Structure 1
Amino acid sequence: MLYFSNVPDFLGSIGSVDVGRGVGASTFGTASFAGSLNFQSVPLATTPQSAQAELSAGSFGTWRASLQGATGVGAKGLAAYGRFSRQGTSGYREHSGNDSWSGFGSVAWFRERDALKLTAFAGHSGTRLAYYAESEADLKVNRRQNSLSESEGDRFHQEMISVQYARSLGAGFDATLMAYRNSAAGAYDVSFGAAPGGGLTLANYGLAHVWHGATAALTWAVADISIAAGATATDYHRDHWLAMRPTLTIRDYTNTGVKRDAAGFVKFAWASGPVRVAADLNLRHAAWRYRPSANAGIAVQEVSWNFASPRAGITWAISSNTSLFASAGRTMREPARGDLLAGADDLNTGNAADLLPLTRVRPEQVDDLEAGVTWRHDRGTLTANLFDMQFRNEIAAIGALSLTGSPLRKNVPRSYRRGVELDGSYDFGPQGTLSANVAVLRAKIAEFVDDDAGVTYRNVEPLMSPPLIANLRWDVPLTGPWSASIAGRYVDRAHLANDGNAALVTPAYSLVDLALHWSRAGREIRVEINNALDANAFAGGYTDSTTRYFYPIATRNILVTLRTPLGF
């Protein structure tokens, strides 16, 4: 579990990011549900010796300074990498800035048949909060308005350390073992209005978690067949508490959620000529135990789930540059704590009747069918992918926020998402490279009950599910060390509620970003102009059934980045 706001420069130490949609291949822990995001850190075995400094500055008081270095693999097989960053911003919206630091480091020992790697990262972040959207009328007067007070902020830290050992056993067998510890803690303030005698009544909500886990995997690969199997076990504790400022030593409550998870997977792949077949299965047991505050007046609550998530796919290369693919899979996933407690931070006699039993919220399931074609050329690629995701008991957003800013969700019996994705690029040589992707979506909820209004809506589009998203980018080499790029993005309108009301939507918008880049002898200067046409765009929002509330996208802004190598 990673909160990006706690470790803000985490991506600076990532070598690659894989974004997937649909039912992904089985992995340790929770199987991919409707989509996944996977990270691979900087590969120590192939990263050469280097050191670099980076400085960035731009609009809205945005800045970042970072140092990073890598040793490369030494004569004794040792390699190390490290990066440290400090950054801040005043924020586009009023009093919505951030001040933070983060660090990432890894050390590895490579031998002919063994590899041992230690990875750690940590971060500390303080944020002035701005999680409420603003009304359409207020944004016309002041686009940067933030209805939260200047006193409402948070401060959190997070750390993680992992040790991984891999060994080639011979005869096609490879084994991997990993153990890790992840922790985070902090608190945030929420205003309850004016305090007697002046100022604000501020509630201080605290959070702290510790997560331990271990995984093991064995892979066998020979000729055109590979089989992999693995298992994992985790233990997760998270405390929630409330205190009122200024007496933070006196708590109104302290409750704890304990989640234990055990999972195993097996994967199989076989290739014969132009055909490749793959299948996998993830089996998982999860249990959650809620320990209430001593004064809550309720007993300990428990709930558990068992899941089986299968997937199979086939790829057929029908020619040297064209291949067809198809896959089918199912994933099931349990509700999160916020779903089980309907956004409440504490369970007690005052709300237990509405929230218990915990089985009231059912696990969600998705069946995913995909098929497509990929065309490859020396200078370009094009992929077309059709998908059909059928959801059962989807835990869907209802368009409202909890007191502390978390989106509220509930089960909807049946829903679906169907569409097509196109993704491609082409290298025109001296004229540059053109890349584009388009997603066309048709999504429906069969039946949605608005509990507050007592109204049932049928066959409605889920909130914040735009029917069309398109991206286009042109990278152009210029004279000598200079290059430039222009990127455009179109996002169609999206509903603010699950009621099908065509008047309560976010407007469609288009954004254009420009960049100019200079590079010579490892030194770089990059100037980015984001939202270059100063579009009046909104990233999302919600509604109270009459008024539209939006999250504004920042107006035209500039960011300048300088990178330079450092000598050892």
Structure 2
Amino acid sequence: MKYFVMFLVCLVITSQISAQEKEIDSVTGKKINLDEVFVSAIRVNKTTPVTFSNLNKEEFASRNLGQDIPILMNFLPGVVTTSDAGAGVGYTGIRVRGSDNTRVNVTINGIPYNDSESHGTFWVNMPDFASSTESLQLQRGVGTSTNGSGAFGASLNLLTDAVADEAFAQISSSVGSFKTLRNNIKFSTGLLNDHIEISGRLSRITSDGYVDRASSDLDSYFLQAAYTDDKTQLKALLFGGHEVTYQSWFGFDPSPINLIGQDGNIDSNRSFNIGGVKLDDNGDLEGFYDRQVDNYKQNHAQFLWNEKLSNLWSFNLALHYTKGRGYFEEYVDDWYYTNVLNKGDSQLNFIGLDSFTLNGEEITSTDYIRRRWLENNFYGTVFSADYTKDRLNVILGGGWNSYQGDHFGEVIWADYAADSQIRDRYYEDDSNKTDFNFYTKANYGLNDKWNLFADLQYRRVGYLANGEETGLVDDTFHFFNPKAGVVFDLNANNNFYFSYAVANREPNRSDYENGDPKPEKLNDFELGWRYVSNAFQLNANAYYMRYKDQLVLTGGLNDSGAPLRENVGDSYRAGIELDANIFLGEKWQIQPNVAISSNKNLEFFFERDGVLQDLGNTNIAYSPNVVIGNRLAFSPVKNFQISALSKYVGEQYMGNIDSENSVLDAYSQTDLNIQYVLNFKSVIKSITLSGLVNNIFDEDIVSNGYFYTYDDDSSGSVQTIEGAGYYPQAGTNFLLGATVRF
């Protein structure tokens, strides 16, 4: 509560300070540029009863020095981000209102991006994508109907580069801590004959990472051809990336590190990475495998068409295709597998080989190197038609998408290979998923003050899989997701809204590997107030999200680093969120936000020491009760700005049983960002110099982790053993960049 009071006091004081008139518009929405028609069916503005935040490229340009999009979103309300490698390059993650990235529906130009099976978003597959992003909108809660997997925490939609009127070319480079290096080139022809534009980008990012051997070697591209006239807009896009990252998704788990004779103290060895460990027959460390990497390519093709049929009607049609192919390669150490992970001694059988006798000794296990492959194809269409007349706006839309995934594993070397051959497959399975949805949205203005909103979506999901870990899966889900709300404009400055939304969601592949999961259901209530003036803007909202059979994170990971989940009966998330934008004269700007919440499992049961126990109401994993952010910007002269960005994340549990061993301590982070623009009237149009110092106070930040339990009956009675791992983030580190525009 004290954070809430401090925030309100700050708003009251600053709102009384006179300021230069400025047009503020993260709520009201700026004039829509031509390219925004491609996301108009799923984006919202102040006439819609949805809680949202906008972020455009000008707002994150000074920090866009090679880190992933989630890191650039770190200071939005209710957002918590993390990085496996500890410095924002490589695998990164985002949580919104405590919901992880599998629950954040992500679209690019209205086209689904979440992986169809895991529901996750892997930004590492599209490195430097922020450099081709025009704007993004984060809708918290259920939001409006969109395409792809259902939103259970938030919806994030990205719009790629707008059509440039004037030709340009630019070169960007940045360097930083941990040998981080980012280079990219961009170009645009501008509008040729007032109608056609071709643009593109090539990027390369390398980094050693903060964590040991958590290196990243990333390449990406973006190519766009566009045609526009008064009624027609066409875009053809090709983009994608290739990532090779050393595996750092194991985190820092003190227990197995102690077992191999290493320092298990996180404070003295924060960057230790057990990935690729090689041990001798006594469990002594020999070294680390140098190719313990994730190697994946992903290529996207999109065709976007918007047509204005009349003053009343327009439509959007998009076709898309994504090809993904890659593997993660890992050295499996016999001693570590058997003695540390307690997996037994049947590795030969696991990789499809028979035990055999050598010199009178039965051989049942071995050191080996495997590649676990995924090849997939994802294609489909999304569409919408927009009708606007007087006070009525109606959108009819939907999409059909198909996914085929081929999973298989290869053994490329084994200490005891028996009669196997290189690249023998020890498992092979495939999966198919289809996703069809159709929605109708209507926004009707009763008068100058009242707007009514309704949104009805039907979604059909079919999933077929036959893996050894999943078993045979042949499920079809039919979901009906209604939403309704009202908006009241008290006057030109004050806007109020209330909405109720239902969301249903299918389990992901890992859920099936864990057991027999149920689909989950969410009822979301949102109540909000938006205040806008020339100098001061405030968004305040309260929410109550009630879940049935929510698939909550258990805190555990599977053997490929994916979070494990399980159904709980009833649970809820409730909270208050505030964010403001305040101008103090011409030189100062403050953008504070605070999210205070309660996140509970109701009547949670857990088997401890062999006895099923009713733990009552427990905290939902990875759901801090307090998240605070702020940006303080100062522009002493034209084209120069210095900003201090701060973040506070309260204590959170990594499991659902409120164990003290599962606590992630609260942490705070402050970054310093500087940008200076030099303008010229020559071949070189401008040079932009940027600097970013992350974690300037060198705080010990652990932003993520995992928690596990297992039963030990070696003493004659069952005892529940608890363990935890952590993902430490880098101390003070920096990035420096320059962009030359021609």
What TM-score do you get using the length of structure 2 for normalisation? Answer: 0.71
Aligned to 2:328: 188
Aligned to 2:69: none
Aligned to 2:393: 226
Aligned to 1:526: 690
1:199 shift after superposition = 10
- On the 8 A contact 1:58/1:559 being kept in 2, the answer is yes
Q: Does 1:57 align with 2:175?
A: yes
Query: What residue identity is the alignment partner of 1:392?
Result: K
Aligned to 2:589: 433
Structure 1, unpaired ranges of 5+: 343-354
1:191 shift after superposition = 3.4
How many aligned positions are there?
545
- On the 8 A contact 2:587/2:636 being kept in 1, the answer is no
Residues 364-416 of structure 1: CA deviation (Å, up to 9, x unaligned): 11100010111111012011100000011101111111111111111111100
CA distance in 1, matches of 2:147, 2:253: 43
Query: What residue identity is the alignment partner of 2:313?
Result: F
Residues 240-286 of structure 1: CA deviation (Å, up to 9, x unaligned): 11111235531011100100111101010111211111111110111
Q: How does 1:47-446 map to 2 (within 5 A)?
A: 48-135=166-253, 137-149=264-276, 150-151=288-289, 152-194=292-334, 200-246=367-413, 248-271=422-445, 272-292=447-467, 301-342=473-514, 355=515, 360-446=516-602
- Larger CA deviation: 313-322 vs 416-425: 313-322
Residues 31-62 of structure 1: CA deviation (Å, up to 9, x unaligned): 42221111011111x55322111000000111
Cα 1:299–1:446 shift into 2, 3 Å = closer
Write 1 or 2 for the structure with the bigger share of helix: 2
Local SS of the residue matching 1:139: coil
CA distance in 2, matches of 1:383, 1:489: 18
1:431 shift after superposition = 3.9
- On the 8 A contact 1:333/1:365 being kept in 2, the answer is yes
1:547 shift after superposition = 4.3
CA distance in 1, matches of 2:384, 2:368: 52
- On the 8 A contact 1:204/1:248 being kept in 2, the answer is no
- On the 8 A contact 2:471/2:513 being kept in 1, the answer is no
Q: Does 1:26 align with 2:26?
A: no
CA distance in 1, matches of 2:658, 2:550: 18
Cα 1:138–1:564 shift into 2, 3 Å = same
- On the 8 A contact 1:28/1:265 being kept in 2, the answer is no
Residues 495-537 of structure 1: CA deviation (Å, up to 9, x unaligned): 1211112453111111111122211112111111100000011
CA distance in 2, matches of 1:59, 1:11: 20
Write 1 or 2 for the structure with the bigger share of strand: 1
- On the 8 A contact 2:212/2:271 being kept in 1, the answer is yes
Query: What residue identity is the alignment partner of 2:321?
Result: R
1:292 shift after superposition = 4.7
1:291 shift after superposition = 3.8
Aligned to 1:345: none
1:448 shift after superposition = 3.4
Query: What residue identity is the alignment partner of 1:488?
Result: S
CA distance in 1, matches of 2:146, 2:731: 40
1:216 shift after superposition = 2.4
Name the structure, 1 or 2, with higher relative contact order (CA <8 Å, separation 6+): 2
- On the 8 A contact 2:460/2:479 being kept in 1, the answer is yes
1:162 shift after superposition = 1.1
Cα 1:497–1:300 shift into 2, 3 Å = closer
Aligned to 1:564: 740
- On the 8 A contact 1:317/1:324 being kept in 2, the answer is yes
CA distance in 2, matches of 1:473, 1:125: 32
CA distance in 2, matches of 1:338, 1:220: 41
- On the 8 A contact 1:173/1:221 being kept in 2, the answer is yes
CA distance in 1, matches of 2:153, 2:706: 23
- On the 8 A contact 1:60/1:91 being kept in 2, the answer is yes
Q: Does 1:496 align with 2:496?
A: no
Two-structure CA RMSD over aligned residues (Å): 2.1
Cα 1:18–1:171 shift into 2, 3 Å = closer
- On the 8 A contact 2:307/2:315 being kept in 1, the answer is yes
1:338 shift after superposition = 1.3
- On the 8 A contact 2:554/2:654 being kept in 1, the answer is no
Aligned to 1:350: none
Q: How does 1:449-488 map to 2 (within 5 A)?
A: 449-450=605-606, 454=610, 455-456=612-613, 457-479=615-637, 481-488=639-646
CA distance in 1, matches of 2:582, 2:554: 41
| Aligned partner of 2:159 among 19, 32, 40 | 40
Residues 323-357 of structure 1: CA deviation (Å, up to 9, x unaligned): 11111100001001111122xxxxxxxxxxxx4xx
Aligned to 1:347: none
1:192 shift after superposition = 2.4
1:177 shift after superposition = 1.5
Cα 1:451–1:65 shift into 2, 3 Å = farther
1:490 shift after superposition = 0.6
CA distance in 1, matches of 2:641, 2:377: 46
Local SS of the residue matching 1:409: strand
Query: What residue identity is the alignment partner of 2:463?
Result: W
Local SS of the residue matching 1:26: coil
Local SS of the residue matching 1:60: helix
- On the 8 A contact 2:138/2:154 being kept in 1, the answer is yes
CA distance in 2, matches of 1:281, 1:139: 50
1:231 shift after superposition = 2.8
CA distance in 1, matches of 2:273, 2:467: 34
Cα 1:429–1:361 shift into 2, 3 Å = same
- Larger CA deviation: 122-131 vs 478-487: 478-487
- On the 8 A contact 2:243/2:296 being kept in 1, the answer is yes
Local SS of the residue matching 2:568: strand
CA distance in 2, matches of 1:182, 1:161: 6
Residues 10-43 of structure 1: CA deviation (Å, up to 9, x unaligned): 1210111111211111123434222111101111
What TM-score do you get using the length of structure 1 for normalisation? Answer: 0.92
CA distance in 1, matches of 2:166, 2:449: 36
Aligned to 1:4: 123
Local SS of the residue matching 1:319: coil
Query: What residue identity is the alignment partner of 1:165?
Result: W
- On the 8 A contact 1:436/1:473 being kept in 2, the answer is yes
- Larger CA deviation: 261-270 vs 66-75: 66-75
Query: What residue identity is the alignment partner of 2:312?
Result: G
CA distance in 2, matches of 1:375, 1:369: 20
CA distance in 2, matches of 1:503, 1:263: 43
1:106 shift after superposition = 1.2
- On the 8 A contact 2:216/2:243 being kept in 1, the answer is yes
Aligned to 1:551: 727
- On the 8 A contact 1:237/1:259 being kept in 2, the answer is yes
- Larger CA deviation: 148-157 vs 323-332: 148-157
Query: What residue identity is the alignment partner of 1:460?
Result: T
- On the 8 A contact 1:24/1:31 being kept in 2, the answer is no
CA distance in 1, matches of 2:606, 2:330: 27
- Larger CA deviation: 422-431 vs 484-493: 422-431
Aligned to 1:349: none
